[in-house]
Homo-oligomer: A and B are copies of this chain.
Amino acid sequence: MLSFESDYVEGAHELILKRLTETNLEQLSGYGTDPYCAQAKEKIREACECPHADIYFLAGGTQTNQTVIDGMLASYEGVIAAETGHVSVHEAGAIEYTGHKVITLPQHEGKIRADELEFCLRTFWEDESHEHMVFPGMVYISHPTEYGTLYTRAELEHLSAICEAHQIPLYLDGARLGYGLMSRQTDVTLPLIADCCDAFYIGGTKVGALCGEAVVFPRRHAPKHFLTTIKQHGALLAKGRLLGIQFDTLFTDGLYLKLSHHAIEMAELLKKGLQECGCTFYLASPTNQQFITLPDEMLDRLRKHVVCSFWEKPDDDHTVIRLATSWATKEADVLQFLKILKELIRC
């Protein structure tokens, strides 16, 4: 059975397991105070060109969003996000659980638009009864988005300028950041993100780690006593080494970008094949997630050979599915998948 179900169906890149094994019996102090964490942070600072960035490692994406957003917001503030943002839909209310509203903006292929953000902020402050409403306290974007799409440099800078004008932080969820950075159609770099955002995280779980996300506060200080906030959220691993060693490995010799590059190559190969098959793309994704619309009948047959993710049903007879490549995708699997698909279409 082939699987393009998600970018987290395999374990970790082999170098990570190798490093975990090599360092396994070293006696290291806990809670992220070990030298591997320190080393990893230093390498991330370098990659971001932010020598003074505050960096923290957490285990997963929802946990990271919850802890960072709660840590950065005042009680009376909420976070602005696209209506399709991960925090809006697929985190089981983890943000609201911490007392904060997710204020939604319309989504455009997963992205928010600067003009709509500006309008939202302006009308809030102009509203005579805004003291009876949730204050917009920060802006959340995902990059790549849940639809695999990317902000351009200009878009990011525009959003950043609006946030700065309204004195609220811009936070970027980079669960799949590597795949965004290595896209063939992007002008956004890690230093640019560090320049535009007040906080962001570099996703490990979906880019070759067993688990782990690196939160970066590039420009401003991390929230005061953020380690305690992490602990309070149940998000502080005793064996911080597990995260430190993984990120140290990912940020040594550019492994993080190499892995991401591979996933993009595989996605482009897949995309080309899908185009040749005449598939209907749900939208144009420049990253590792591809969305196509299939007749249900064909999907049923395809699923005998391939695992893929249900996305939505545009009508009674069709289904949008997601096909994800990753750092671990084999070229042979992509070709095999395309072969199967072609045969199905031919019938």
Give the B-binding residues of A (Cβ under 8 A): 1, 3, 5-6, 8-12, 14, 17, 20-21, 23-31, 59-67, 70-71, 74-76, 78, 89-94, 96-102, 128-129, 131-135, 205-206, 210-211, 224-225, 227-229, 231-239, 241-242, 307, 310, 328
Contact = CB atoms under 8 A, between A and B. Distances in A.
17 contacts: A9-B27, A10-B28, A12-B24, A20-B210, A31-B132, A63-B235, A64-B234, A66-B234, A67-B234, A76-B93, A76-B228, A76-B229, A92-B131, A92-B132, A92-B231, A93-B134, A210-B242
B225 A76 contact: yes
Contacts of A307: 27, 29
Which 3 pairs from chain A and chain B are nearest by CB?
A63-B234, A11-B24, A92-B231
Given A20-B17, A234-B62, A135 B228 contact: yes
A30 to B, nearest CB: 6
A51 B275 CA distance: 51
Nearest to A245: B11
A231 to B, nearest CB: 4
Contacts of A10: 24-28
B238 A8 contact: yes
A169 B24 CA distance: 38
Contact of A8 (B3, B96, B135, B239): B239
B236 A234 contact: no
B27 A231 contact: no
A31 B131 CA distance: 11
A7 B133 CA distance: 20
A90 B25 CA distance: 26
B132 A228 contact: yes
Contact of A132 (B6, B66, B90): B90
Given A63-B235, A97-B233, A233-B97, A27 B8 contact: no
Contact of A232 (B65, B70, B75, B236): B75
A30 B9 contact: yes
B11 A20 contact: yes
Contacts of A70: 75
A183 B69 CA distance: 44
Contact of A101 (B6, B24, B93, B210): B93
Given A8-B239, A210-B239, A237-B60, A93 B67 contact: no
Contacts of A5: 27, 29
Contacts of A128: 310
A89 B211 CA distance: 28
Contacts of A93: 76, 78, 99-101, 133-134, 232
A63 B62 CA distance: 14
A28 B205 CA distance: 14
A318 to B, nearest CB: 16
Contact of A229 (B9, B30, B75): B75
